[in-house]
Structure 1
Amino acid sequence: MGFLKRILRSTGGDETNEVLSPGSFETLSEEELQTHMGINTYGVFELTDAIRPSYDLQVVPRQGYRFDEYIDDVNNVRTPVLMASATRRQLMELFLDLIDALGDVVDVVLETSHHSNGHHQDLYREHIDMPVLKSILLEHEDLLLNDGCTGIAVINPSKRQEVQLDEHKLLIVYGRPLEQFEQRLIAGDVYPDEKIKFITEAEHVHSSSESFYDQFNILKNRLGMDSDDYAGAC
């Protein structure tokens, strides 16, 4: 199973770096934890190996998307957001389809929380051709889908649009217009659901390993990212 990183979220979905207790994982025996981590399907929805919901299933994973809004408190700027959850067999294909809408040349951000006590670092690469990027990402599909300490964002600064496949393996699109991305999700059998709750909106557990950490460093080098180029911790 590798090492586990427990991250708790408020029911409103706001991220916190505080360790809240007690949690549903704290009272489990090793056998109960291993059994829970081994459950990867909920109905027809299949999770990647990166993350598992709370033991008491405060949120049951399912496929769908809804709209949200990101508010920059400093500048009071509101940015529309589309959040989606997709079953494992569709996830990578959908991500590649979504980033294709960003254009021919994009910027890339790799997010890592390996060995960082719940914080994360962002590594940047500017100006990469989309076909080259997609080829590299496909080579590292296992890492991107199954490592709970790796996330990636693809950005078109001129369009002010961004597509993420985050550590929780959610698809998140920022910017406007969102209609093209919405159409691509629907074409991939991911449909609107205003009542959907995502795994981040309750207690959950991330899974990773030293092997994934090594793979992350290979991907970082393939993308030409210097390990010292990061945007700090959150």
Structure 2
Amino acid sequence: MGFLKDFFTTVFDEEQAVAAPASSFDCLSEDELEAHLGVARYGDFELSDAVRPSYALEVVPSAGFRHDFYRDEETRNNVPVLMGAASRQRMMETFIDLLQPLGPVVDVVLETSHAHNSGGHTDLYRESIDMPILQSVLWDFEELLVNDGCTGIAVLNPQLPQEVQLDEHKLLIVYGNDLTAYEGIMIDNYLDCREDMKFITEAEHVHSTTERYMQDFEELKMRLGMDGGM
């Protein structure tokens, strides 16, 4: 499949990878693959360039959020989680709005899988950055954060503790206790609560990136004062 097959990296959930190591994309012609990857709109919902669903559309992309929990194996506690997906046009604004409850000074984690061809990622950490400065930098890199399938970002306040992510799949994820304020922000950004909602990560999907986004990531890393290579 030439360029397109090299350009897109198939990503599986770990359990799915064991059960079905072969990708359904391998059975497609290059024309079929190109046509599928060219579809960004599903009803009123528009994907960014970062990720595409499986060819069989086991999960049809849509907007909304649901409640979940994360199991902390060290403390054996269940940490409340909000998981959401916003259409491309509202993704960045919703993410920026979700940062407000974290307070005036936060820590930032950049996640990159640019240098990982078979899974895995690298995390880069920056402590104590003023929220207005961070938001200004993030708006400058909106295209990267919205459209690069190998870049993710998390913003957190360890004192609360709460964390907001815009991950590589462009899902909006919030961790921590008392997430009421974040629920309100999601609703204000036209995301409905749908507890039966499925996300693109829950089926086979593909990520995309470009050389330009790799360069933009390096610039973002420098703007945030982060050390370490990919």
| Separation (CA, whole Å) in 2 of partners of 1:24 and 1:108 | 36
Q: When the two structures are superposed, what TM-score results if normalisation uses the length of structure 2? A: 0.94
Structure 1 unaligned segments of length 5 or more: list them: none
State whether structure 2 residue 167 is matched by structure 1 residue 166: yes
Q: When the two structures are aligned, how many residues end up with a matched partner?
A: 225
| Separation (CA, whole Å) in 1 of partners of 2:41 and 2:67 | 25
Instruction: Tell me if the contact between 1:17 and 1:119 (Cα under 8 Å) persists in the aligned partners.
Output: no
| Separation (CA, whole Å) in 2 of partners of 1:17 and 1:225 | 33
| Separation (CA, whole Å) in 2 of partners of 1:90 and 1:217 | 25
Q: Could you report, residue by residue, the CA deviation over 1:145-187 in whole angstroms, capped at 9, with x for unpaired residues? A: 0000000000000001000000000000000110000001101
Q: Which moved more, 1:182-191 or 1:21-30?
A: 21-30
Q: Say which SS state the counterpart of residue 101 (structure 1) adopts.
A: helix
State whether structure 2 residue 18 is matched by structure 1 residue 9: no
| Separation (CA, whole Å) in 2 of partners of 1:115 and 1:210 | 11
Q: 2:186 corresponds to which residue?
A: 185
Q: Which moved more, 1:177-186 or 1:29-38?
A: 29-38
Q: When the two structures are superposed, what TM-score results if normalisation uses the length of structure 1? A: 0.92
Q: How does 1:70-219 map to 2 (within 5 A)?
A: 70-117=70-117, 118-219=119-220
Q: Offset at 1:104? A: 0.2
Q: 1:60 corresponds to which residue?
A: 60
| Separation (CA, whole Å) in 1 of partners of 2:17 and 2:157 | 29
Instruction: Tell me if the contact between 2:10 and 2:23 (Cα under 8 Å) persists in the aligned partners.
Output: no
Structure 2 unaligned segments of length 5 or more: list them: none
Q: Say which SS state the counterpart of residue 25 (structure 2) adopts.
A: coil
Q: Offset at 1:23? A: 2.1
| Separation (CA, whole Å) in 1 of partners of 2:33 and 2:17 | 23
| Separation (CA, whole Å) in 1 of partners of 2:125 and 2:10 | 26
Q: Say which SS state the counterpart of residue 214 (structure 1) adopts.
A: helix
| Separation (CA, whole Å) in 1 of partners of 2:228 and 2:36 | 35
State whether structure 2 residue 38 is matched by structure 1 residue 34: no
Q: Say which SS state the counterpart of residue 132 (structure 1) adopts.
A: helix
Q: Offset at 1:9? A: 1.9
| Separation (CA, whole Å) in 1 of partners of 2:213 and 2:156 | 24
Instruction: Tell me if the contact between 2:65 and 2:191 (Cα under 8 Å) persists in the aligned partners.
Output: yes
- The residue type equivalent to 1:53 in the other structure is P
| Separation (CA, whole Å) in 1 of partners of 2:20 and 2:127 | 37
Instruction: Tell me if the contact between 2:109 and 2:126 (Cα under 8 Å) persists in the aligned partners.
Output: yes
| Separation (CA, whole Å) in 2 of partners of 1:138 and 1:173 | 20
Instruction: Tell me if the contact between 2:65 and 2:84 (Cα under 8 Å) persists in the aligned partners.
Output: yes
Please state which structure has a larger fraction of its residues in helix. Answer: 2
Q: Say which SS state the counterpart of residue 184 (structure 2) adopts.
A: helix
Q: Offset at 1:19? A: 9.4
